[in-house]
Structure 1
């Protein structure tokens, strides 16, 4: 969620540039989702960063493209090579319905074209070359007037809310979120895109800058603004305070009159511990007629590149006395889960920790208890400087300490974290990073050029200083490939497509408590028979067994399916002896013409079994000693017997509990969650 608008009766309207299942613009009330607007996902459309409401309409900032020229229709989609940014007007009683203000085209059979209907309720504000950005960063509306922050053009534009005709405009430096006062004046966040410290300005209805100022703290980062029925100004501060700040007029000037939220937010006290009023990355604030305050967060704030989906959204409501009334969570995206080796019923995801209580019913058996990324204490954390989301976890206990290893959605690089609960609470402290290709790590502070380096936190402060980097001079380039695995002894296994398998040996812990890896302590294994291309390698030290997947001459690769593990799984025993023995070879499910497609996109080994997951979430279970399939785990009625896409190369993990029950975790990115299956073999 990057923007919210709140109606007087307490309905919350949201917007965001992207939601995997198409709910960019949604409506909530009393902690329940009432529905989503649609028309913001696919067929050229995308969501946006602003939303406003009046008594009749919902105004949504959206983007409109043409799918690289494949969508053609004058007035419905931009011409090839162009992109539109503007405002979609919807009916307040049902935001799925476009509120037309221009003629809609009809189909040959006389019916209204649904895309043309949306176009007839769309105000195009900016047309730019495809790939450029000119997003609308703020909207405000009365029953008669719509105000638009045309941020890229440094102006506020004014439109008639009924006819949507342009009425006026005035110059403002990078206008962002706005709030309309009862007297018709407008509060605006300026410098919304590039200023390190945005400001708040007050304008008359005709665009005259007023003398009013808000005494914002020097380190505040205002990201949204709202007004209540008493004329108080509410500012969402995404700086170190992580609070909503209240300002009231007293003696002709505005003074600070209160706050909502614990100072420091989720990072105060036990850093990373969530709870009421412990905000984390504010993106929106609103208030209803009863003075209930609504706060949206996403783990980092409204400008979250290059993290993609942010670090987990929440939307919550607070009564005037500060009591939390409700909260909804959208915490995970392209993310896996892995049991904490040091604590029973504790589960890590890419940047969160959850606590299980398996005595409770499905869906009530987990609780969010830890946020791992602390951008104020560890701003160099690679989660903020590498592309493609926080990562997919493998947690290992080495020499009595827990370490978290995270790979990204495209298996490019590997992040390593350590923990110090007494000093850092739930925070995962940057400890190491093994770089892959240059592009994925180009934003890492002080990184040497070219990728192919190892960084270790040699100073113990989580800062990426130049003395922590070691370039790869071994001659063996490990970048490229889909397989990362960290075995229970701490060795890192990297599977390259056609160059073989690399093993970085765990070299113990350094003086700062970081695991040590070096290119000089690396073993390279050639591509084993019968493979022509490799995809994954999972090593189990207890039996010296390596489970390898990929393609063979008889079962070749199909380049259209590039994240999958391959068509063949082989178990080799005595792997480290130099004379491995092929124990068995099995053919994995592979029906690329099926709908949905049947392949294997991820696998893991735990206890007595190999768990292999299809892109649509079905988990095949194989006996690890014989290779025989035991059965298939599929989504149950708790989730509508449906799973969205597994869209990551490490999207399944498993854990054998002391009572013999297995917990199997599967990434599910369509609706932003991790599926947890419980299975106890007979």
Structure 2
């Protein structure tokens, strides 16, 4: 999934060729050519491309994934740091609501970003990680060694070497080989570094980067320097010891002032009035403002108390924050705040005037994610694993999506599986008229089920059920710390029988031991769950019929209702499944006797898609079967990642080129191919997920096709007319 090369995809253009032919033959051929060109030009131009989840469409403009730290320069330039950005913008540079660059070469070659960043009038200092590269002549860590570095850049984002610098370009200061840098700050000609592994604050000359001194500090986090030149340092919570913010002189002497009334201080900054701003990342979800002239006194707050959970829970508004990871101010007193959500949901970076008015907002919300639409909204309400959007398809591509809600509440539902797992794909369904969201991951290893209750929870998705299994290591069950009540071994179904969104005792139904290797998952329009297993016994389809809704509105599934169904004989390795009960039609993909796999391409869709009518009546003879792009060489340059059926078409997307092949549901014939348009700079990253495509037909006959796009932090949306 990581370090993928982004493929540039361009729309094809026909060429007009003139022929000098006899009159009759010329007329006939001209008619044929005109018909052919018209059909192909139409197929290449009748769809439009837009996107959701990122402020920008791509090319040089995209907002990075998951900002973990930021530094705001006096002129309002925002420098950021992320642990990972798929397209290499771990360290972004933003100003006036725009992307103006990045600190380069933070990606690949065993490099990644980190958790701290600071700057002065000349340089930016970035916490980063440099891993080993094996036997290589340039200066890299030895094997099995990692450098936790401060890397120096000029203000434009180019590495700035120094005489004793390490690394291939001599721009790296090695602080530790044991643990990450968790805080950075500058004052005068000094650079202060939180060395978390050694429990020290290290002080370096900011020009030569020679170490000047150090002093002990337990669990150091972010650092800020006040006008007197003294340090305010977050002491992170450890065990039963609560978090604090402590006051130190530059020489390392602890001063008596401290702040102990913050539960989870995540970020700090000094504003232009010499006040200390503290990002409280516990249930308050506010920036706390302290007068620090003498003993710190809380004099104000910024943002709604309770953050995004104030008022209509989950609903996005200007002053409602969620998962704050960064706070800063410029010389004019403007305030900058970044929210990451919880469990690395994505970037939401905002600038406010000194009076609290929103100036701009930048979004980079999606990584290994795809979207689905609430069918009752006719394609207007769109959901990803954590977010909700409202669409207006009549607007320009960059204005179609409005970020409406963030659907996780970690304070009310701390066992929400999204806080502890890595789901990737949403299936949104209406069951008995009520909305439900089903999620699975990149390996199709589980199904997470969520219900909605606007009266009690606003926009929050409430944990309602789960298909999973107790993990094993070396054949032995492994405990799951966030799920203390799960069965001791085997697979199971959880249902939230008491309606509290927690995994309580007595809420599990153990499943019979089954073949461990999944091919695919599906939730049909009735709410039935389907699984395909890569079995060798020819009975590889599992069907869990919905047994209704319980008194709390949770869907009911039981092990006793499980149905095992025969795999059609054409398949040797079944991968994807989509069943439509309204027409009793089944679509399956996988590798076949006629088109076998080369090696074990475990995560792709296979070599063929087949349609079966009258499935519930036992028919296993396909109405049609069609070969899809798949690897025949062992080099895996061509393969299909995922499929989705909607209306009159089957849509299938390839892994490396992210091209969408369109087939007729009536015949299986290929009729069109979709490529990312100019609106997204004609590019896409690889498709990493087994459900990296999702299609929907609107009531007006239009088709919406959502496609994963990790590289630039978004989901691509194709809009095809009827």
TM-score, normalised via structure 2 length: 0.86
Instruction: State the Cα RMSD in Å.
Output: 1.9
Q: CA deviation at 1:227?
A: 0.5
* Distance in 1 separating the partners of 2:605 and 2:518: 11
Aligned equivalent of 1:221: 264
Map 1:236-385 onto structure 2 (within 5 A). Answer: 236-249=279-292, 252-300=294-342, 304=343, 310-344=344-378, 345-385=380-420
Deviates more, 1:282-291 or 1:521-530: 521-530
> Which runs of 4 or more aligned residues in structure 1 lie more than 4 Å from their structure 2 counterparts after TM superposition?
192-196, 591-596
Aligned equivalent of 1:230: 273
The count of aligned residue pairs is 645
CA 1:254/1:547 → structure 2, altered by over 3 Å: closer, same or farther? same
Which among 60, 65, 77 is matched to residue 140 of structure 2?
77
Map 1:378-527 onto structure 2 (within 5 A). Answer: 378-386=413-421, 388=422, 390-436=423-469, 438=471, 442-445=480-483, 446-472=485-511, 474-477=512-515, 479-498=516-535, 500-527=540-567
State yes or no: 1:52 paired with 2:126: no
Which among 584, 604, 620 is matched to residue 644 of structure 2?
604
SS in 2 for 1:581: coil
Which among 187, 195, 203 is matched to residue 158 of structure 1?
203
Q: Is the 8 A contact 2:200 2:214 kept in 1?
A: yes
* Distance in 2 separating the partners of 1:592 and 1:196: 58
Q: CA deviation at 1:62?
A: 0.5
Aligned equivalent of 1:568: 608
* Distance in 2 separating the partners of 1:319 and 1:663: 38
CA 1:116/1:16 → structure 2, altered by over 3 Å: closer, same or farther? same
* Distance in 2 separating the partners of 1:629 and 1:594: 25
Where in structure 1 are there 5+ consecutive unaligned residues? Answer: 105-114, 129-133, 305-309
Aligned equivalent of 1:112: none
Q: Is the 8 A contact 1:438 1:449 kept in 2?
A: no
Q: CA deviation at 1:595?
A: 9.6
Aligned equivalent of 1:107: none
Deviates more, 1:582-591 or 1:189-198: 189-198
Q: CA deviation at 1:583?
A: 1.0
Where in structure 2 are there 5+ consecutive unaligned residues? Answer: 1-66, 473-477
Q: CA deviation at 1:195?
A: 6.4
Aligned equivalent of 1:110: none
Q: Deviations over 1:512-535 (max 9, x none)?
A: 111111111011123321111111
Q: Is the 8 A contact 1:246 1:259 kept in 2?
A: yes
Q: CA deviation at 1:590?
A: 2.1
* Distance in 1 separating the partners of 2:652 and 2:165: 53
TM-score, normalised via structure 1 length: 0.91
Q: Deviations over 1:66-122 (max 9, x none)?
A: 24x3x5246x21111111111101112x21233333378xxxxxxxxxx621xx110
Aligned equivalent of 2:72: 6
Q: CA deviation at 1:652?
A: 0.7
Which among 673, 691, 700 is matched to residue 632 of structure 1?
673
Q: CA deviation at 1:581?
A: 2.8
* Distance in 1 separating the partners of 2:479 and 2:389: 28
Aligned equivalent of 1:29: 95
CA 1:246/1:438 → structure 2, altered by over 3 Å: closer, same or farther? same
SS in 1 for 2:308: helix
CA 1:281/1:83 → structure 2, altered by over 3 Å: closer, same or farther? same
Aligned equivalent of 1:651: 692
State yes or no: 1:589 paired with 2:629: yes
Deviates more, 1:575-584 or 1:174-183: 575-584
CA 1:597/1:397 → structure 2, altered by over 3 Å: closer, same or farther? same
Which among 153, 158, 162 is matched to residue 96 of structure 1?
158
SS in 1 for 2:321: coil
Q: Is the 8 A contact 2:244 2:260 kept in 1?
A: no
Instruction: Report 1 or 2 for greater relative contact order, CA contacts < 8 Å, sequence distance ≥ 6.
Output: 2
Q: Is the 8 A contact 2:266 2:325 kept in 1?
A: yes
Q: CA deviation at 1:450?
A: 3.0
